[in-house]
Amino acid sequence: MLLTHRPSGRPRHRTKSAHSPLILAVRWFLTFRWHLLALFLSDLGRSMIVRKYDAFTTDNGYEAAGRGGNVLTRFVDRIVRRRDTHVALRQRLDIVSSELVEVALAARERGPVRLISGPVGLGRDLRQAWSRLESLGTHPASWLEVVGIDLDHSGTVLDEASRLAAADHVPLETFRVDLLDPEGVAGIAGRSVNIFNSIGLGVWLDARGVESLLESVCSVLKPGGVLMIDHWRRHGGSRYVGALQMPARYVTDTEFEASLETAGFTVEQKRSTPNDIVVVYRARLGVNRSESGSTVTT
């Protein structure tokens, strides 16, 4: 496979207007949001402030307990990790990895399976799914191809994803691609993909961005292929996202489902996290979707 496009986009979890950690701290102080200053004491909190919810912060948030620090910083870190957003992250991870196992096993009945994860981040969901497939004795290496794509704005994400995958014996191939550029995405795989796993990007996109993301997915997914995608509902932790100057956009389930349907998908299953914050959708691309995008779902 060839990478035909060099990405130039900016990751949407960051905005040009976002202030430096110092300015943020001063603003929080001056607006009496002093409790937010405690985030600086937590390992995960500092990562949220400095990196926003990038691949590293998100992966850090998957850990229920942090490491290192003194009694005070560990205490604050534990509180941050128990916030509803981070509980939802861990609950989402369980749903996504078990769904990936299920859809991969179903797709396997029709032959070898190609799965793209984009944005792959550090690929924890993929590694977890792979390990479950191995423990089921299905020998995924003999029938499952896994590809990870990411904008990797910092140039460190895909290297780390590859390192972690190699350590877990997952044969992950990676490409640096902007998921909002359908032509760039099409360049890596044509329409040869059975499963597209897209977790952790949609909430940072405006309506046009979601359209482009879904167009990119359609550019590589086989008709009848499956998209796994997450949708975040507004929740208590949303106000922290605002305080951190991250451009989240919350829509209703109905609106999110409408954008899937407009792009040619039929929702087959939706699973909410136990705390009702994230929904993971399993959606199938209409088998009669033409290259131009019009669809007749059968």
Ligand X SMILES: C[S@@+](CC[C@H](N)C(=O)[O-])C[C@H]1O[C@@H](n2cnc3c(N)ncnc32)[C@H](O)[C@@H]1O
Binding footprint of ligand X on the chain (CB under 6 A): 9, 11-12, 53-55, 58-59, 119-121, 124, 150-153, 157, 178-180, 199-201
3-state secondary structure of 219: helix
Residue 213 contacts residue 202 (beta carbons within 8 Å) = yes
Q: CB nearest ligand X: which residue?
A: 121
Give the Cα separation of 135 and 181 in Å (integer).
Answer: 37
Distance of closest approach, residue 137 Cβ to ligand X, in angstroms: 27
Q: Which amino acid would we find at residue 11? A: P
Distance of closest approach, residue 188 Cβ to ligand X, in angstroms: 12
3-state secondary structure of 66: coil
Distance of closest approach, residue 79 Cβ to ligand X, in angstroms: 21
Distance of closest approach, residue 263 Cβ to ligand X, in angstroms: 17
Based on CB atoms, which residue is closest to ligand X, 151 or 188? 151
Distance of closest approach, residue 30 Cβ to ligand X, in angstroms: 29
Based on CB atoms, which residue is closest to ligand X, 165 or 286? 165
Distance of closest approach, residue 189 Cβ to ligand X, in angstroms: 14
Sign of torsion, CA 109 114 119 124? positive
Residue 75's region, left for phi above 0, alpha for psi from -120 to 50, else beta, is alpha
Task: Spell out the residues 6+ positions from residue 7 whose beta carbon is closer than 8 angstroms to its own.
Answer: 151, 176, 177, 178, 181, 184
Based on CB atoms, which residue is closest to ligand X, 140 or 202? 202
| Sheet order of strands, 265-272 included | 172-176, 144-150, 113-117, 193-198, 221-232, 278-285, 265-272
Based on CB atoms, which residue is closest to ligand X, 120 or 285? 120
C-alpha dist (Å) from residue 107 to 103, 104, 112: 6, 5, 8
Based on CB atoms, which residue is closest to ligand X, 39 or 201? 201
Based on CB atoms, which residue is closest to ligand X, 73 or 129? 129
